[in-house]
Each structure stands twice: as C-alpha cells, then as structure tokens.
Amino acid sequence: MKVFLIVIDGLGDLEKNGKTPLSLAKKKKLNFLAKNGLCAISYPIERGIVPGSDTGHLALFGYDPYKYYVGRGILEALGSNIRIYEGDVAFRANFATCSKFEITDRRAGRIDEESAKKLAKEIEHLKIKDFDFFFYHTKGHRGVLIIRGRASPLVTDTDPHSLGKISWSKGITDEGNETAKAINEWTKEVNKILEKSEINKERKKKNIPQANIVLLRGGSSIVKGKYFEGATYFGPYVKEPIRVETFEERYGLKASCIAGGALYKGIGKYLGMDVIELKRATADQNTDLEEKFSKGVSEIQKKDFVFLHIKGCDPLGHDGKFDEKRKFIEKIDKCIPDEIIKDKDILTIVTSDHSTPCSFKSHSAHPVPIVFYNCGRRNNVKSFDELSCSVMEIKHLDVMPMVLGMINKAKMYGS
C-alpha cells in the first residue's frame, strides 16, 4: 500500500457555543473517512507541551524533536532554496511593528508580498563587526536571515513570541556572545533603515502597521557540508552536531512533499523528500487547493508516500477568525480527491501538526484529531472532529510505527 498524508496546519480548536470550527463545518468527505476509518486524538509532542509547526511535523514523521530539532532557521532556509554553507547561521525572521522597541504587531499587519519584497531589498546585506548579514524575503511577513563569518547559533531569539518589549539576543554560552552583540546591532540598524523607508512612511499615513523591525528566532547552522545533502546540523536545541537519517533510509519509502510554506518544504528537504514546487501555493487560505491535490494524485502514482500540507487554518486561528476557519475547512473537504478515497491501495491519513484555537490566537497544548482510512479497522466514529475522535489517544511519534504496521512493513519482534 501507498500512504497519502494530509496535514491541515493548526486544525485543532476549542468550543464556542458547544462547537469548534471543525465540528461545525459541513464536511462530507472528512466524516466519511472518520466513519470508515480508525480515529484518535494525538498529542503532537506530549501532554502539556505546546508544539511549534516544526517540532509537530518532525514528531509526525517519527523523528523525536528532542533529538532532531536543531532550530527553525535551517528548515526555513532549506525550504526557501537559500544556499547555506559551513559555518552559516540561519534564522527564521518576521517583519514586525514596534514603537521604541516595544512590539505592537508581530506580523506587521500581515504585510503584503509586494511591500515586503521591497523592504527586504533595503536590508538585504549589512556588515556588522566581522559578520555579513543577508536577509531574504520568503512569503508575507516571513523571511530568512543568514549570518556569515564564524557566527554561532548559540544565541537567544529576539522575537519575544508575544507583544511587548523585544527580547535582545544573548549568548547561551560564551561562544555566542559576539554573535548576540552583532545581532542586536543589526536589529537596531535595520530599525533605522526601515523607519526611513518610503513604504513605511506611506503605511503610517494610511494608519497601517509599519514593518519597521525584524524579529529573529530558531538560530541553527550547518557544521559540515553545504546546502542539505549529507550535511551535519547544529543549534541550541541539540547537545552536539547531528546528521539526520533520510525518510527513505529510515522507512524504505520514497516520499514527496507538497507545500507552500518555506518551513514545510524545508522539513521535506531536511528529511530527504522530493519537494514539489507549485506556482499557486500561497501558504495561507488563498492557496490553490485543487492544484495541490491534483499534484498529490499525480505524485502518489510515482511514490510510496505523499505529504500534502495545507496552511490556511493556522493563520485564521492566529487571527481569531472562527467562522473563516470553519469555511476554509469546508473548502478543504470539497477538494479532497475521490481518487484517493476510492483507491484501496492507498492508506489516507488526515491530521494536524498542532491546535491553534481562535480564542488563544496562538498554538496550544491540546491534542489534534487524526484518522487512518483504508487501514482495515474502524472504531465507529461518526464525525471527524476533536471530541468525536477522542475514543483513542496516541502521540505523533506513534503515527509512523502505526503506518508501517498498516501497510505491512513493520518489523517482527521475537519469533
């Protein structure tokens, strides 16, 4: 059997008037999968731990994030096709809004692509001390920063992950002190440049949040090798440099990754999957779902495993848009291909990397629903939603061992 994994980012939510966006949504196909499949709720990391999209996905693919997560920077850079060399340190970056280094909007009002690209050009290369800082815009408010010149990833983030005072970078060990100082100088210099930008002056006139600062998180580096083939990675989340066993090496499955966001394509590359580039994959609720699913149907004919990522529910959860999240779930449901459901040689899985409750406007520690369809078992669940699926509990690290068992590729223990 082949495996088709659909990950609906930030799908999980909390009840409002007794319903979540998922339970309220009209979703004929997802409910069909639930009624005829094996359902559960899954903790992305473990109880009481709030997962990032990066760590949630690593766990879903069977890579313990406590061992294999080196930091978000490298994953974002890989997914953006940015060349990285030995000694480079990469960060995930956000355009944000601040007043005297007090963060008032972490996404600069979800700045548009054109404005973000132009602002990125104004700060694309700055020299601070002995370091070269290269900034790359990716999508929306997002970007990647590469520091070149014997920099250390052993520094803290400047992104406070909430509104309030910026978190000035510090060295986690003495090794990171000089890099942290340079990061703070760069941040101040970038603020000066962006404050003078004509784009931001115009935004200020229109009372639109200015993109006048860049926040950094998830510093990580390549210690040996370049780009991603056979590279060894290092960052503050691991004790020593690691090389990651590819998905095919680990499971014997050739895999494709279909995603719009840099992070998810980066995870695909990090694990050695073939990453499929799509023109209309926007990494938000405007993405072309039909294009994604059409490519997924094509890829499953050639590969053993297809990972298809859908981002839209997550930003809607972050923005607290309960009804829009419900509507987007309904849109996803209509686009799930009948070919996938009808093919008895395809194990279809639908789940999420984490919950993003509209009432929290952030990730939460709540488990997410998961369904395994065409696995030869069912547990009589009537609806695909958070409450209905809680007939069984698992963790994301259980998913790939379960998958191998379902497609008859599990190893025997004993005789």
The CA-to-CA distance between both ends of the chain, in Å, stands at: 25
Q: What is the pLDDT of residue 162?
A: 86
In tens, the pLDDT along 235-265 reads 888 888 888 999 999 999 999 999 999 999 9
Q: Is pLDDT of 301 > 60?
A: yes
In tens, the pLDDT along 390-402 reads 999 999 999 999 9
* Domains identified in the chain and CATH numbers: 2-68+245-406 (3.40.720.10), 77-223 (no CATH)
In tens, the pLDDT along 191-221 reads 999 999 999 999 999 999 999 999 999 999 8
Q: Which of 110-119, 180-189, 302-311 has the lowest mean pLDDT?
A: 110-119
Q: What is the pLDDT of residue 93?
A: 95
Q: Is pLDDT of 281 > 80?
A: yes
DSSP E strands, 225-328: 232-234, 255-258, 274-276, 305-310
What's the CA gap between 278 and 315, in Å, rounded? Answer: 20
Count the helices and strands in the chain (H runs, E runs): 15, 16
Q: Is pLDDT of 226 > 70?
A: no
Q: What is the pLDDT of residue 344?
A: 96
pLDDT band at 229 (very low <50, low <70, confident <90, very high): low
Q: Is pLDDT of 225 > 60?
A: no
pLDDT band at 230 (very low <50, low <70, confident <90, very high): low
Q: How does strand 37-43 pair with strand 368-373?
A: antiparallel
In tens, the pLDDT along 30-43 reads 999 999 999 999 99
